[in-house]
Amino acid sequence: MFSLNKVIRPHILSLTPYASARDEYSGKEGTFLDANENSFGSVISGNYNRYPDPYQWVVKEKLGIIKGVDAKQIFLGNGSDEAIDLVIRATCEPQQDNILILPPTYGMYKVCADVQNVLVKQVPLTPDFQVDTKKVLETADEHTKIIWICSPNNPSGNIIERSSILHILDNFKTGLVVVDEAYIDFATEESFTKMLDKYPNLVVLQTFSKAWGLAALRLGMAFASEDFIKILNKIKYPYNLNGVTQKLLFEALGKEDKKNKYVKQILKERQHLQKELAKLSIVKHIFPSDSNQLLVRFSDANAIFHYLIGQKIITRNRSNVILCEDCIRISVGTKKENEILIEALKKY
């Protein structure tokens, strides 16, 4: 049986959070003399003089409808990176607890753990970038508070088999299973947000940085049980999402069609890029992708990566990463960008 109270650090459970002025009175109408704001206005045009809603309820209600979850099951942060950091800080005692990651994977899980002096256990993915569930469950110990599963994975691009994730959710009950779905919009698999009511040990991360094209706004989502979201709200900075971002997000949520259109275009370009890359003799393997990135094994990744830099074409050299020897990660660009890349590689 999963017990959230056993997973959260005891002092966080008992902590009294900062109560902002907007916590103590959440009504919209009135004469607001509670937060020491400038009631006259802002020094630039536009009204930025009032503190924003600390819980972003208006956008969460709209987002909840799109995602099919309750607004109270949503946390919004300054990028997914904020959620990654807070999930670790809520659960892991430094130098005592550990997290378990499945490399090669997104770098921030380990960096956030390292900052907090939290130990990191690693169980590499299999050579086809799937999860060795048996090894994962054997490696997790009583101090393991989080198992991170990135699906579709970065840098490999593939989706993790649903049955593997379900197996871990069913068998790891002493901590949280975080499924990072930053690239889920590009995949055909259904999101794990649909499983939240069944698994209180599940946290799903998504982001507006990829398919939605809002990387500059810094907007990440975490979906989890209402109780766990309450914990994240307790330890976040009170006004972690600024008012401008909340307003732009509200607008963006009305344009899901446009996001879906972009996804279609990107998938079409990915297919084309894949086909063109496969014709090149320097390309040894292209890993299957369920996202907007292609992991490509080259004859000599280091040399090719530096050659591309010389042509002002920036890719991500992953050749020093476990299971990614001689691999470069390529983000799918526009038709024009992909052509520039292919033409340069042809001349190599």
Ligand X SMILES: *Cc1c(COP(=O)(O)O)cnc(C)c1O
Q: Nearest to ligand X by Cβ — which residue?
A: 79
Residue 252: both structure tokens together: 């963006």
Residue with tokens 């966080």: 12
Q: Does 207 bind ligand X (CB under 6 A)?
A: yes
Site for ligand X (CB under 6 A): which residue of 7, 179, 182, 273?
Answer: 182
Q: Using the rule CB under 6 A, give the single segment among 77-85, 112-120, 124-132, 239-247 that binds ligand X.
A: 77-85
Q: Which CB, 153 or 338, lies closer to ligand X?
A: 153
Supply the DSSP string of 194-215, one letter for each residue.
Answer: GGTTT-TTEEEEEESSSTT--G
**How far is the C-alpha of 204 from the C-alpha of 191, rounded, in Å?**
9
Provide, rounded to whole angstroms, the least separation between the CB of residue 14 and ligand X.
30
Q: Does 245 bind ligand X (CB under 6 A)?
A: no
Provide, rounded to whole angstroms, the least separation between the CB of residue 202 and ligand X.
16
Q: Which CB, 214 or 344, lies closer to ligand X?
A: 214
Q: Using the rule CB under 6 A, give the single segment among 59-67, 122-130, 170-178, 207-215 that binds ligand X.
A: 207-215
Q: Does 81 bind ligand X (CB under 6 A)?
A: yes
| Coil, strand or helix at 336 | helix
Q: Does 80 bind ligand X (CB under 6 A)?
A: yes
**How far is the C-alpha of 113 from the C-alpha of 175, rounded, in Å?**
15
- The alpha-helical segments, DSSP class H, found in the chain are 4-7, 10-14, 21-24, 57-67, 80-91, 108-115, 133-139, 162-171, 226-235, 243-253, 256-278, 301-310, 335-347
Q: Does 129 bind ligand X (CB under 6 A)?
A: no
Provide, rounded to whole angstroms, the least separation between the CB of residue 335 and ligand X.
23
Q: Does 222 bind ligand X (CB under 6 A)?
A: no
Q: Does 79 bind ligand X (CB under 6 A)?
A: yes
Q: Using the rule CB under 6 A, give the single segment among 9-17, 76-84, 192-200, 311-319 that binds ligand X.
A: 76-84
Q: Does 289 bind ligand X (CB under 6 A)?
A: no
Q: Which CB, 146 or 150, lies closer to ligand X?
A: 150
Instruction: Find all residues with CB under 8 Å of 170, minimum gap 6, and list them.
Output: none
Q: Does 290 bind ligand X (CB under 6 A)?
A: no
Supply the DSSP string of 230-286, one letter for each residue.
Answer: HHHHHHS-TT-S-HHHHHHHHHHHTTHHHHHHHHHHHHHHHHHHHHHHHT-TTEEEE
Provide, rounded to whole angstroms, the least separation between the CB of residue 257 and ligand X.
22
Q: Of 246, 258, 175, 228, whose CA–CA distance to 69 is shortest?
A: 228
Say which amino acid occupies 316.
R
Provide, rounded to whole angstroms, the least separation between the CB of residue 81 and ligand X.
4
Q: Does 103 bind ligand X (CB under 6 A)?
A: no
- Judged by CB under 6 A, the number of residues near ligand X is 13
Q: Does 185 bind ligand X (CB under 6 A)?
A: no
User: Distance between terminal CA atoms of the chain?
Assistant: 57
Peptide bond just before 155 cis, omega within 30 deg: yes
Q: Does 213 bind ligand X (CB under 6 A)?
A: no
Beta pairing, strands 144-150 & 98-101? parallel
Backbone torsions φ then ψ of 79, nearest 5 degrees: 85, 160
CA distances, 241 to each of 2, 49, 185 (Å):
31, 15, 23
Q: Does 146 bind ligand X (CB under 6 A)?
A: no
Site for ligand X (CB under 6 A): which residue of 55, 106, 192, 223?
Answer: 106
Site for ligand X (CB under 6 A): which residue of 85, 97, 180, 185?
Answer: 180
- Would you tell me which residues interact with ligand X (CB under 6 A)? 79-81, 106, 150, 154, 180, 182, 207, 209-210, 215, 220
